[in-house]
Structure 1
């Protein structure tokens, strides 16, 4: 187990009707005027926006609305939000939604607190530990952005090519996260399945490590994954199951707040590749991950086959062939594919509806390595450009 620091200062307010506490929480954080940032019709049509604004009126907190977030949130919209905040004298940014709305809000908060070009932040030309006050009301269980330190944005302001880039800093953890599982009842099946797969992947990216002696975190991660494995189908079968929705919502935060990565070195190569697929094909994040994970797994399997065998046995309940660890490992990977298919998620690029050319594959592989700031992506196995190219070709 490696040394680590762990701090999650986000105040989680979990349960039914908790969105009605929004105004009080903003005021407790010192906010006097908030930007309310979201995307889509759900927030307004369901009355959620009215309930949140009523709570802010009662708390004496001013606000300005800013709609327009889309999946794979755009830097161009972020810049509009920053300018709106400055014109309106905003001192607090409130996200309503899932990962896209929260990441867009984090980027706005960075822009509001700093003078540099935001492109430079996400291209890692500058760094900062300054961010405007930020809170979140979650309406989707999956990304964990409501308690994480990461921000992922599509840079669409530099010409035709879109770059998906991230910036991670502890200052980006929201001051509070309101999490009412009932707000996820009306989600379409896809928006339950894809984020559910993302919860699994956030845990798996940390779980597949070369570190030894991580039994405690292993047990916590395996329990989380078993819970999600059961809760996603349960929520699809009964969208108003509070038990399933609550478990998914809390698992989403726990999977990406850093807890399951304590004491080990995570991988995140699948995220590196998936983010390039998202940037090039505007692919949903969860889809980009399930479309390539099993191909990645088979490519790196022999680095530590016993880890994949443990995953198969402890998470998916496959039969443990003690005489053939590799066979057990492959059964675990196959069980993952079967689970993905059972919830309607793809396990290849063709199933995801894309067919990248060799030229596009090379471009994505180069960009995936560049985004990691070195000559490779991943830690479980260092993947160089040619490795990522082969994984993408195998996944077609």
Structure 2
């Protein structure tokens, strides 16, 4: 196990009436708040009115910026930064899913930075100070409600890039599973894929003696899969939604990565797919992860076989761990299919014409990517080709 420092200061308020606590937390954002949200779904489900009342009860001023889309755009981030500076905003309340929260974090960091906020995502600078951010979560998926991560898409060049800094963690997160009841199934399934991938990125490591976090990660993955089938059968099962919502937070609050080195290659590859084709992140991950596992299997057979046995219940063939591993990958693919997600690029309407471009963008001129297995541009091209059809 590697040495580590674990620090996650986000206060999580979870429950079927969690938003009642919101007025007592809003003052952490200062006296003038930017209410940041998506394309209007919070108004349809009645959450907007609840949040506005909480802002009034907290006695703060506020202004609004909606319009966040999946794969949040840099142009709206720039608009938010200009608005916050002009109006003297002291904090941001993000109401929505990962895209809204990531956009809010980018705005919060950009307001305090003299240069272009994209400098952070391009690796040219690091945020030193941000506006405080609070969250009311509506989509369990990205885990951005307690993480230090933010992913933004720059329209020019179709570049999707992410950053991770502790300073970006929200001050508080309000989690009420009832606000997820109106989510379309496909959006729910994409969120399930996203949180599962967050665990797998940490799980597949070469760091030895990580039995505790192995078992913790396996438990979270098994829970996600089990509850996903329950939810598919009955989308109104509030207990299953509660389990899924908390699993999404635990998957990305960094606890499962303590003492380990994650891989994150699959996320990097997927960012290029969704950056170009605007595919839902979870749908891209259900395509990439099985292809990545197939490609790295010859070099990391035992760990993938352990995953197959402990997470999917595949019989462990000690004389043929490769077959155990391959069966685990097959069951992972079947899980995605059962959830209604694509497992091939062509199933998502994507052809092979830009595979080389995506492979090169994943590398982005860097050294080989990945820690579980280091990969070159050619390796990534092979993975995308495996994912094609």
TM-score between both structures, scaled by the size of structure 1: 0.96
Q: CA deviation at 1:26?
A: 1.5
SS of structure 2 residue aligned to 1:244: helix
- 1:142-201 CA distances to partner (integer Å, 9 max, x unpaired)? 110001111100012xx4x21101111100000001000111011000111011011110
Matched, 1:275 2:271: yes
SS of structure 1 residue aligned to 2:343: coil
Report if aligned partners of 2:40, 2:67 keep a CA contact under 8 Å in 1. no
Report if aligned partners of 2:95, 2:101 keep a CA contact under 8 Å in 1. yes
Matches of 2:60 and 2:15, distance apart in 1: 23
2:358 — aligned with what?
A: 364
RMSD in angstroms over aligned alpha carbons?
A: 1.1
Instruction: Tell me whether 289-298 or 14-23 shows the greater mean CA deviation.
Output: 14-23
Q: CA deviation at 1:287?
A: 0.9
Matches within 5 A, 1:161-310: 161-310=157-306
Q: CA deviation at 1:41?
A: 2.3
Write out the 4+ residue segments of structure 1 that deviate beyond 6 Å after TM superposition: none
Matches of 1:297 and 1:82, distance apart in 2: 40
Report if aligned partners of 1:291, 1:351 keep a CA contact under 8 Å in 2. no
2:371 — aligned with what?
A: 379
* Match of residue 388, structure 1, among 363, 369, 380: 380
- 1:229-284 CA distances to partner (integer Å, 9 max, x unpaired)? 01112122222212111111111111111111111111111001000001111111
1:124 — aligned with what?
A: 123
Aligned residues: 388
Report if aligned partners of 1:129, 1:169 keep a CA contact under 8 Å in 2. no
Matches of 2:287 and 2:321, distance apart in 1: 25
Consecutive unaligned residues of structure 2, counting only runs of 5 or more, are none
Instruction: Tell me whether 175-184 or 109-118 shows the greater mean CA deviation.
Output: 109-118
Matches of 2:130 and 2:359, distance apart in 1: 32
Report if aligned partners of 2:203, 2:262 keep a CA contact under 8 Å in 1. yes
TM-score between both structures, scaled by the size of structure 2: 0.98
Instruction: Tell me whether 173-182 or 320-329 shows the greater mean CA deviation.
Output: 320-329
1:137 — aligned with what?
A: 136
Matches of 1:200 and 1:78, distance apart in 2: 28
SS of structure 1 residue aligned to 2:133: strand
Q: CA deviation at 1:21?
A: 2.3
Consecutive unaligned residues of structure 1, counting only runs of 5 or more, are none
SS of structure 2 residue aligned to 1:265: coil
Matches of 2:19 and 2:302, distance apart in 1: 44
